[in-house]
Structure 1
Amino acid sequence: MNTVANLSPATGQVPDHRLSIVVPMYNEVENVEPFVTAVHEALADYPFPWELLIVNDGSRDGTQQALDEQARLRGPHVRPIHLWRNFRQTAAMQAGIDAARGDVIVTLDGDLQNDPKDIPKLVARLLREDLDLVAGWRQNRQDGLWLRKVPSRIANRLIRKITQLEFQDLGCSLKAYRATVLKRVSLYGEMHRFIPAWMATVTSPARMAEEPVSHHARTRGESKYGISRTLRVVLDLLAVNFFLRFSGRPGHFFGGLGLGIGLLGGAILSYLAVLKMFGEQIGGRPLLWLGFFCVLGGLQFLTTGVLAELLIRIYYDRGDVAPYHTTQGPQLAAESAWHQTH
């Protein structure tokens, strides 16, 4: 295998690598054969080894049989992974990432709305510019306005505001990752929408970029997305915000809440104490109960913060993790060279 190769005149030379394409599918039997064919057509002249991992997320419509048939026809580079029930998209994507053997991992949906022809372009930019993530940007989305476009725009604006990541289309599944970085992130729940935010915990946002990609209307099967996901996005976003800001100092989060609520309760009880000194009856006032429970709640938040800090100390004291991450810059390269010569 050559050290460098030419992907196309548009992308220029990129280093040697192995490519893994991870695709979660759920009840997409009508799209299996067209999708696998589209990927092979897009990568027909790809000069590097590649594999296609399609994760069947507990489908019950014949998707499993269709995937097994494609693997038999196409060869061992097509690797179906069957989950025994529907674990949802994030878990399916994590299963594919765990099984991927490539140096570069590309994720996309299996409904052919993402165009496999964009894969070489994203991979080339990732490697030529030495990035850790290149995310697709669907500038001309072929979705319904009110059910998909408007909620997506609102969600993207909210996500940009909270995460401080300047991505225009975080909902696009078509992304290229450096495998060594992506595998340092564990996905759960429905966190696949926020992979760039999670990656910001292990690498610099300066090593992420966005690339315009094609987008097509769905022509087969039924969409698994809807406006009902908007509420889940908001809930997941709260979790992302907590981990980005307070994962290393949870005592500040719980302690801040505890102090605020406790001070409010203390102010209420002080006010009632003054009234009592002037002879007013306060025993039947609802304000007394509010002040009492505010003080109690504040104490609970404070003690929760102390416990969380103890857990974080235990986590970092294990020795195999650190509260920071570094990149391989000139200073680290010089340090490595120093050890080799001494």
Structure 2
Amino acid sequence: MNLSIVIPLLNEEESLNELHSWIVKVMAQNNFSYEVIFIDDGSTDTSWQVIEGLAAQNTNVKGIRFLRNYGKSQALHAGFAKAQGDVIITMDADLQDSPEEIPDLYSMVTAGGYDMVSGWKKKRYDSVVFKNMPSKLFNWAARKTSGVYLHDFNCGLKSYKNAVVKNVEVSGEMHRYIPVLAKNAGFAKIGEKVVQHQARKYGTTKFGIERFINGFLDLITIWFLSRFGKRPMHLFGALGVIMFMIGLFSAGYIGINKLYKLAVHERAILVTDNPWFYIALTTMILGTQLFLAGFLGEIILRTKNNEERYKISETL
């Protein structure tokens, strides 16, 4: 099979039929063998009924329905697990991503040799204040922090080799950082393509300004995980030892200084009256706690079990 098109969605009943027809037309024009996997992330409208109707008329359509809303990352995770195509395309269901981009994205992976290709919505039709400017700031920070130089990390339109989606673990709200996760997993050839962005035709956006706040928090998380996720002792243990040694040497200096003053018959204040004594003690305690945090992190990594992150109600 050439293509698996993975489409997470939430309350997109109005756009699904049009999107399906558009995809089918593009697939026929390019003679692709394909499957379309719709993941209903807990919609409260008739989205699932529409998907059932599409699956009844087109055997290439498959569906996954969550019991409730778990988030886009979980939806992509479920879609990636089900996908069988040589190349996987992800796109949003709101018609802002054009299926006409699929052939070029497919070619860049198969003929161009890229592990994955991310879309870049260079010209956008979103609010400048509430979406464009925060998005530019977010993408700048992501480039500087991750070392992956893409203009648009959050573009839903992407293409992947099958091996990438089968080896990248998408959890939490890390769907924004799949390129970074791919790079950390060893898939270093990551490309970018300018894609057409269309104004929303139906419904309203499902994302508010809070997604950018969450995005920056996730960026810090992925920065930490990419460097110390498999070796927390290297960070917490090192910081703990450094702080403990600083506190220990400070306490030693205070004690030696007091003994010296007593030896030369100078009046020496009590150790507990010296504010540096409490600073040294606090530093030693914090150092011990950081060391233990790293040690416990190592134990958790070695004993954790894979937990179920979402529940599927129905599949097609």
Q: Which residue of 1 aligns with 2:72?
A: 89
CA distance in 1, matches of 2:161, 2:298: 32
Change (3 A) 1:312 1:29: closer
Deviation at 1:250, TM superposition (A): 2.5
Deviates more, 1:120-129 or 1:41-50: 41-50
Q: 1:59 touches 1:86 (CA, 8 Å); kept in 2?
A: yes
Of residues 14, 20, 25, the one that matches 1:36 is: 20
Structure 2, unaligned stretches of length 5 or more?
262-266, 305-316
Change (3 A) 1:282 1:112: farther
Q: 1:163 touches 1:241 (CA, 8 Å); kept in 2?
A: yes
TM-score of the pair, normalised by structure 1: 0.80
Q: Which residue of 2 aligns with 1:254?
A: 236
Change (3 A) 1:194 1:263: same
Deviation at 1:284, TM superposition (A): 6.4
Q: Which residue of 2 aligns with 1:161?
A: 144
CA distance in 1, matches of 2:8, 2:204: 15
CA distance in 1, matches of 2:117, 2:251: 55
Of residues 204, 214, 223, the one that matches 2:205 is: 223
Does 2:162 align with 1:179?
Answer: yes
Q: 1:181 touches 1:203 (CA, 8 Å); kept in 2?
A: no
Opposite residue 241 of structure 1, the aligned amino acid is W
Does 2:279 align with 1:296?
Answer: no
Cα deviations by residue, 1:63-114 (Å, 9 ceiling, x for unpaired): 11121122223x1101121111111110011111111111110001111111
Q: Which residue of 1 aligns with 2:3?
A: 19
Q: 2:4 touches 2:84 (CA, 8 Å); kept in 1?
A: yes
Deviation at 1:299, TM superposition (A): 1.3
Change (3 A) 1:130 1:98: same
Cα deviations by residue, 1:151-174 (Å, 9 ceiling, x for unpaired): 111111111111111111111010
Opposite residue 297 of structure 1, the aligned amino acid is L
Higher relative contact order, chain-length normalized (CA < 8 Å, sep 6+)? 2
CA RMSD of aligned residues (A): 2.4
Opposite residue 117 of structure 1, the aligned amino acid is E
Change (3 A) 1:312 1:64: closer
Deviation at 1:179, TM superposition (A): 0.8
Q: 2:27 touches 2:33 (CA, 8 Å); kept in 1?
A: no
Deviation at 1:203, TM superposition (A): 2.2
Q: Which residue of 2 aligns with 1:211?
A: 193
Opposite residue 292 of structure 2, the aligned amino acid is T
CA distance in 2, matches of 1:172, 1:198: 15
CA distance in 2, matches of 1:258, 1:230: 32
Deviation at 1:289, TM superposition (A): 4.3
Opposite residue 108 of structure 1, the aligned amino acid is M
CA distance in 2, matches of 1:218, 1:261: 53
Q: What are the within-5 Å matches in structure 2 for residues 5-154 of structure 1?
A: 17-73=1-57, 75-154=58-137
CA distance in 2, matches of 1:58, 1:157: 32
Change (3 A) 1:285 1:44: farther
Q: 1:43 touches 1:117 (CA, 8 Å); kept in 2?
A: no
Change (3 A) 1:275 1:117: farther
Cα deviations by residue, 1:147-200 (Å, 9 ceiling, x for unpaired): 111111111111111111111111101000001122111111001000011011
Cα deviations by residue, 1:100-132 (Å, 9 ceiling, x for unpaired): 111110001111111111011100111102221
Opposite residue 119 of structure 2, the aligned amino acid is G
Deviation at 1:297, TM superposition (A): 1.8
Deviates more, 1:129-138 or 1:37-46: 37-46
CA distance in 1, matches of 2:137, 2:250: 39
Deviation at 1:262, TM superposition (A): 2.7
Deviation at 1:246, TM superposition (A): 2.0
CA distance in 2, matches of 1:143, 1:236: 23
Change (3 A) 1:182 1:275: farther
Deviation at 1:266, TM superposition (A): 3.9
Change (3 A) 1:179 1:27: same
Change (3 A) 1:137 1:288: same
Deviation at 1:282, TM superposition (A): 5.7
